[in-house]
Amino acid sequence: MKNKGVKNIEISVFGELRILVDDVDISQAIWASKKKTALLEILLLNRQRPMSVTRLAEMIWGEDEEINAENALKTLISRLRKDLEESGLNGAILTVPGGYMWNPDLPANIDVFRMEELCNTLLDAESLDPDIRDQFEELLHLYTDDLLTNSNLSKWITPKSVYYHDLYLKTVYRYIDLLNQEKEYGDIIRVCKIALDIDAFDSTLNLELM
């Protein structure tokens, strides 16, 4: 199902969950329910694969034996879909055999996946041509905080957050290495200061800054 009239969908999961549809922030409607927010977070971060009813229920409700997980999840999915559709995101959540998934064909820009794409390219960079430099700079402005800092799914989110934090630092180190090769020491100081806003105690960054 296509999103008629939607020009642009931007989703940020670094820091607080933010969803912009044609530059309009629709996040507030989702935040009103912690369960809806948790469901959306799970589906977004697993956008390329279906999530089973059992797995979703376990992540959202834990071992609450008072809950009829299948019915509760069906209701939650329905409410989340309604919120998204009212904001112009039709067909964002697909029903698949045994579960649900975020529609991978939805033309949405999701910061975490753009970051991974950049890092996969930049970690193999051998020189600072203009395009590579622009991509490093994009990364510096893209990763501004840990993953979903206000999430109620900390047990599940924390390992993913650590992974992206480490991936960011590893890629920044590569940028600094290339800047050292070019003897661009002013840029090294600038990059270190930006990255230290993310991790003030990182020893490699502090040594480079010295």
To which residue do tokens 């402005």 refer? Answer: 141
Closest-CA residue to 138 (of 181, 191, 188): 191
Q: What is the pLDDT of residue 33?
A: 85
Residue 171 CB: number of other CB atoms within 10 A? 24
Measured distance CA(161)–CA(154) in Å, rounded: 9
Q: What is the pLDDT of residue 146?
A: 93
Q: What is the pLDDT of residue 45?
A: 93
Q: What is the pLDDT of residue 178?
A: 97
Question: Exposed, middle or buried, 45 (CB in 10 Å: 0-12/13-18/19+)?
Answer: buried
Q: What is the pLDDT of residue 3?
A: 46
Question: Exposed, middle or buried, 152 (CB in 10 Å: 0-12/13-18/19+)?
Answer: middle
Measured distance CA(163)–CA(169) in Å, rounded: 10
Q: What is the pLDDT of residue 1?
A: 42
Mean pLDDT by 10 residues, the chain (210 residues): 62 93 85 89 92 91 73 92 88 93 91 96 96 97 94 91 97 98 96 96 93
Residue 42 half-sphere exposure toward CB, CA atoms < 13 A? 28
pTM recorded for the entire structure:
0.88
To which residue do tokens 């070019």 refer? Answer: 182
